[in-house]
Amino acid sequence: MKQRTARSNGSASKSHKSFSKSGLAKQVPPDPDAPAKQAQLKLYEEALGLFHQQKFQRAQQALARVLEGPSKELADRATMHLRICEQRISRVPAPTPKTAEDHYTQGVALMNLGRWDEAREHLDRARKAAPKADHIVYAMAALDCLTGEADSAMENLKIAIQLRPENRYHARNDEDFSFLQEDPRFTELLYPEREGSAG
């Protein structure tokens, strides 16, 4: 009889312990990132909806915003879908460019995808249609730099700056021209005031 009593007391103490544990669980402070995670999840669900509707460009924009949220798990999923979006977008035939601006836009989009040859083809056409458009010549200089053609890059950048001097300041902070950072001709072109003060 005593043993039975002892057992029943033990089970009672166990249930008391489990109750106290559950009571403690309720006192855990809330996750400070919870609202941001909720917003991130909502964005992710919206992006997935666009993805399944095959609206890949809009899905890509939404997924890029998901990456900014606090949840690594959601960011990892978004990264996977972003890769698929990029693949699908690159396969989708773009509308046929007609104007210089159309070719320029298409050329820059292809540059961002790393499709250098196709980008050059569109930028060449854009330049032929609008030879005085400084932003087109500037884009060609950037493409030359990205493909390691330093001489052509310098020539096009010089023309772009002649057409619009503000391009000198853009090029100073443009990562596309990092290949030329050590080239003295690049420094001379972008920082003429240094040469003047040196002389």
Q: pTM for the whole thing?
A: 0.52
Instruction: Tell whether the model's pLDDT for residue 5 goes beyond 80.
Output: no
Helices (H), 33-149: 34-52, 56-66, 72-91, 100-112, 116-129, 134-146
Asked whether the CA dihedral 118, 122, 127, 133 is positive or negative, the reply is negative
The rounded percent of the chain whose pLDDT value lies above 70 is 80
Model confidence over 109-150: pLDDT tens digits? Answer: 998 888 999 999 999 999 999 999 999 999 999 999 999 999
Model confidence over 20-56: pLDDT tens digits? Answer: 444 444 555 677 778 888 988 998 999 888 888 878 8
Which tokens go with 38? 């909720």
Q: Which residue has the higher pLDDT, 123 or 3?
A: 123
pLDDT at 14: 46
Contact by Cβ (8 Å): 36, 68? no
pLDDT at 98: 86
Dist CA 134 CA 136 (whole Å) = 5
Burial class of residue 51 (count of CB atoms within 10 Å of its CB; 0-12, 13-18, 19+): buried
Phi, psi of 130 (to 5 degrees): -140, 75
The letter for the amino acid at 158 is: K
Model confidence over 61-77: pLDDT tens digits? Answer: 889 899 888 988 988 88
Average pLDDT of span 160-185: 91
Maximum Cα–Cα distance across the chain: 108
- Cα–Cα–Cα angle for 107, 188, 142, rounded to 5 degrees: 10
Contact by Cβ (8 Å): 156, 137? yes
pLDDT at 195: 56
